């Protein structure tokens, strides 16, 4: 009898506890603009926020990263919403698994964090096409970030779906979303106030009926600000300067929000790894908090850009694709461990709060794997699906392909030796004649020609083109087709009649055979199995490999490329298991490699 009473008491206590939690989480709060500060339930509230992106970490890690945010002293987190993840095909939506952004926001509420939501839908974020889905490029005359009807219709459909997930989680509906950002640094792109007003209307009509704001560099606010909304400032940490700019565009009033503060930066393939010393930023963070400004550090936690979702920039006409690691030299490293930057920022933030901060989370366990042998392989020719034919080469978009690779193939007869030129190849091409690699063409280096020595009457010409990431910033957003975008010329004569084979690698379940092919120069898909007696975070060491991408237990780890600076691929322990683990590698340049290992620490700073 006593046992039953104890069980009943335990059930009642738990029911009361969870009822209290639910009641608290469903409490409707108010969040408003004061003349100089934000007002949460009528009282001054200073946002100390950090950016983190739900798809750049496994869902299993969302809570631990948020707890780390609390431990550094953050009370708010910011995140973009990524259109190309949620509507990969027109009209087909996905808010499940790692895309379940509503659950991400709810977990933040459970952990006592407020949220700043950025559903733009343009995000920049060093993300493929700035977050836009590739299929927009297939609509003739569509112009992103404009009032062009096709774009607005697609935008409207999408933002309604996003609002169905997230509008109920706004603070005025019992949730924890304090504010919602309209567009994203639009001032760098345009100045059409009608477009911005249409954005506002779309957001409100969809259900975002709380506070809206815009964000821009202090030098671009005039272009990107919509009168009546709070202008937040990106990139500045001078309190007086921020105040003067905001007041200029906000009727002489605040509050003041630095929506992107950059104590770190991202990396491009082939360029030096970025590190920014924390010492430079401590007095700036202190001065901002002392002045009572709200701030969002970009990034607090970067994580990893999985799959083919990295974007690219163009600077001085030089194409710069971004690495898969989004470590960003952020306060939390790529695995989610606190860095020295985290510790020092925490000390500054602790000065500005009366509450004792939670302890710094322990570092995640790591392992190193001595040797992994990939005994099985699939030859490149066996990877190819059914061909599509066209007189001229077709782009990825014309082939209805979002990401990955396309092989272009044709047969030349009785040709003379000469220069083969591929005009506007995007972005990286390996060229083969009768199975022998002639060379590579790298858009970063403005390469477009290889020499073709004609020694036979018949030449099977193959060109494998990789989409290295659509541009995510600036006016070239409008010029983002991939593949062979114009034509192929040999000695000034256009080559016609092409077969095209799509390799998006949305499915890596290819039939593999044992042993190794002999002296192949073509790419290859290799598979292997490695056994573990314990799990932990680890970093695949790709220094001896060439170029390609990797999957472990079906999870994409992203791209690797021997040029660096990233030389390792992060595997979170949540994606490993005791016993057998499978690994799949698509290698483009060194197809005869078979063995690799892993390290307990990353290599992100080695440029070859």
Give the model confidence (pLDDT) of 102-135 as tens digits.
999 999 999 999 999 999 999 999 999 999 999 9
Between CA 75 and CA 108 the distance in angstroms is: 10
Which stretch of 24-33, 233-242, 389-398, 479-488 has the lowest confidence by average pLDDT? 24-33
Q: List helix spans (H) across 374-424.
A: 380-383
Q: Collect all residues with Cβ–Cβ distance below 8 Å to 509 and sequence separation of at least 6.
A: none
Tokens of 422: 């591929």
pLDDT at 1: 44
pLDDT at 510: 78
- pLDDT at residue 22 greater than cutoff 80: no
Higher pLDDT: 454 or 380? It is: 380
Burial 92-129 (b: 16+ CB within 10 A, else e): ebebeebbbbbbbbbbbbebebbbbbbbbbbbbbbbbb
The tens digit of pLDDT for each residue in 314-333 reads 999 999 999 999 999 999 99
- The alpha carbon dihedral of 577, 559, 155, 485 has a sign of negative
Closest to 483 (Cα-Cα) out of 439, 445, 409, 429: 429
- Domains, the chain, in order of start with CATH, read 2-350 (3.20.20.80), 372-378+512-599 (2.60.120.260), 392-496 (2.60.120.260)
Decide if 69 contacts 299 (C-beta within 8 A): no
For the segment 345-353, the average pLDDT, to the nearest whole number, is: 97
For the segment 458-462, the average pLDDT, to the nearest whole number, is: 96
97: which DSSP letter? Answer: G
Q: What percent of the chain has pLDDT over 70?
A: 95
Q: Residue 121: is the preceding peptide bond cis (ω within 30°)?
A: yes
pLDDT at 2: 41
Using pLDDT thresholds of 50, 70 and 90, give the confidence band for residue 19: very low
What is the DSSP secondary-structure string of 227-278? TTSEEEEES---HHHHHHHHHHHTTT----EEEEE-SS---BTTSPPP---G
- pLDDT at residue 21 greater than cutoff 80: no
The tens digit of pLDDT for each residue in 127-162 reads 999 999 999 999 999 999 999 999 999 999 999 999
pLDDT at 455: 78
Closest to 48 (Cα-Cα) out of 80, 78, 81, 79: 78
pLDDT at 27: 83
Decide if 117 contacts 162 (C-beta within 8 A): no
The tens digit of pLDDT for each residue in 267-308 reads 999 999 999 999 999 999 999 999 999 999 999 999 999 999
- pLDDT at residue 33 greater than cutoff 80: yes
Q: List helix spans (H) across 39-100.
A: 62-72, 83-86
- pLDDT at residue 26 greater than cutoff 90: no
Which stretch of 181-190, 199-208, 247-256, 512-521 has the lowest confidence by average pLDDT? 512-521
pTM: 0.94
pLDDT at 517: 61
pLDDT at 568: 98
171: which DSSP letter? Answer: G
Closest to 572 (Cα-Cα) out of 87, 127, 59: 59
pLDDT at 516: 59
The tens digit of pLDDT for each residue in 364-399 reads 999 999 999 998 999 999 999 999 999 999 999 999
pLDDT at 350: 97
Catalytic residues: 185, 260
Using pLDDT thresholds of 50, 70 and 90, give the confidence band for residue 515: low
Decide if 203 contacts 162 (C-beta within 8 A): no
Q: What percent of the chain has pLDDT over 90?
A: 91
pLDDT at 9: 39
Tokens of 71: 């431990």
- The alpha carbon dihedral of 532, 533, 535, 540 has a sign of negative
The tens digit of pLDDT for each residue in 81-98 reads 999 999 999 999 999 999
The tens digit of pLDDT for each residue in 162-206 reads 999 999 999 999 999 999 999 999 999 999 999 999 999 999 999
pLDDT at 518: 65
Mean pLDDT of the chain: 94
- pLDDT at residue 17 greater than cutoff 60: no
């Amino acid at each position: 009898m006593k046992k039953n009473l104890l069980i009943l008491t335990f059930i009642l206590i738990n029911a009361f506890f969870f009822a209290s939690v639910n009641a608290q989480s469903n409490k409707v709060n108010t969040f408003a603009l004061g003349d100089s500060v934000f007002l949460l339930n009528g009282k001054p509230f200073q946002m100390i926020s950090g950016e983190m992106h739900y798809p750049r970490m496994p869902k299993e890690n969302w809570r631990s990263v948020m707890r780390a945010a609390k431990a550094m002293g953050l009370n708010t987190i910011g995140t973009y919403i990524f259109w190309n993840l949620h509507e990969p095909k027109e009209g087909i939506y996905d808010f499940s698994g790692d895309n379940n952004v509503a659950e991400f926001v709810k977990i933040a509420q459970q952990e006592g964090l407020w949220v700043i939501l950025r559903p733009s839908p343009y995000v920049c974020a060093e993300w493929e096409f700035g977050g836009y889905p590739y299929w927009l490029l297939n609509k003739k005359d569509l112009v992103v970030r404009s009032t062009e009807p096709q774009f607005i219709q697609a935008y409207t459909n999408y933002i309604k779906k996003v609002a169905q997930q997230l509008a109920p989680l706004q603070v005025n509906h019992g949730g924890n979303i304090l504010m919602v950002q309209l567009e994203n640094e639009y001032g760098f792109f345009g100045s059409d106030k009608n477009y911005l007003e249409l954005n506002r209307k779309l957001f409100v009509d969809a259900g975002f009926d709380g506070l809206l704001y815009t964000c821009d560099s202090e030098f671009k606010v005039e272009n990107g600000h919509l009168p009546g909304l709070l202008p937040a400032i990106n990139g500045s940490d001078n309190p007086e300067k921020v105040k003067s700019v905001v007041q200029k565009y906000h009727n002489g009033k605040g509050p003041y929000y630095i929506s992107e503060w950059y104590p770190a930066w991202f990396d491009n393939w082939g360029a030096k790894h970025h590190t920014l010393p924390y010492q430079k930023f401590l007095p700036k963070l202190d001065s901002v908090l002392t002045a009572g400004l709200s701030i969002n550090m970009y990034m607090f936690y970067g994580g990893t850009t999985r799959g083919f979702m990295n974007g690219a920039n163009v600077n001085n006409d030089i194409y710069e694709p971004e690495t898969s690691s989004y470590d960003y030299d952020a306060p939390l490293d790529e695995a989610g461990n606190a860095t020295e930057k985290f510790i020092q920022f925490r000390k500054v933030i602790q000065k500005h709060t009366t509450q004792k901060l939670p302890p710094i989370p322990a570092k995640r366990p790591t392992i190193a794997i001595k040797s992994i042998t990939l005994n099985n392989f699939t030859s490149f020719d066996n990877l190819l699906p059914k061909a599509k034919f066209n007189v001229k080469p077709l782009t990825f978009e014309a082939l209805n392909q979002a990401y990955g690779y396309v092989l272009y193939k044709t047969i030349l007869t009785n040709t003379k030796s000469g220069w083969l030129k591929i005009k506007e190849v995007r972005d990286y091409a390996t060229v083969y004649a009768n199975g022998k690699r002639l060379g590579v063409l790298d858009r970063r280096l403005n390469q477009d020609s290889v020499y073709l020595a004609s020694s036979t009457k018949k030449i099977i010409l193959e060109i494998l083109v990789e989409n290295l990431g659509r541009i995510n910033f600036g006016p070239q957003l409008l010029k983002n087709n991939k593949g062979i975008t114009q034509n192929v010329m040999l000695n000034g004569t256009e080559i016609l009649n092409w077969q095209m084979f799509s390799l998006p690698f949305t499915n890596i379940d290819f039939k593999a055979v044992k042993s190794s092919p002999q002296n192949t120069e073509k790419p290859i898909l290799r598979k292997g199995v490695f056994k573990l007696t314990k799990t932990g975070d680890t970093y695949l060491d790709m220094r001896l490999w060439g170029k390609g991408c990797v999957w472990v237990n079906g999870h994409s780890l992203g791209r690797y490329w021997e040029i660096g600076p990233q030389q390792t691929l992060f595997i979170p322990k949540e994606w490993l298991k005791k016993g057998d683990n499978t690994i799949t590698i698509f290698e483009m340049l060194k197809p005869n490699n078979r063995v690799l290992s892993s390290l307990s620490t990353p290599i992100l700073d080695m440029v070859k």
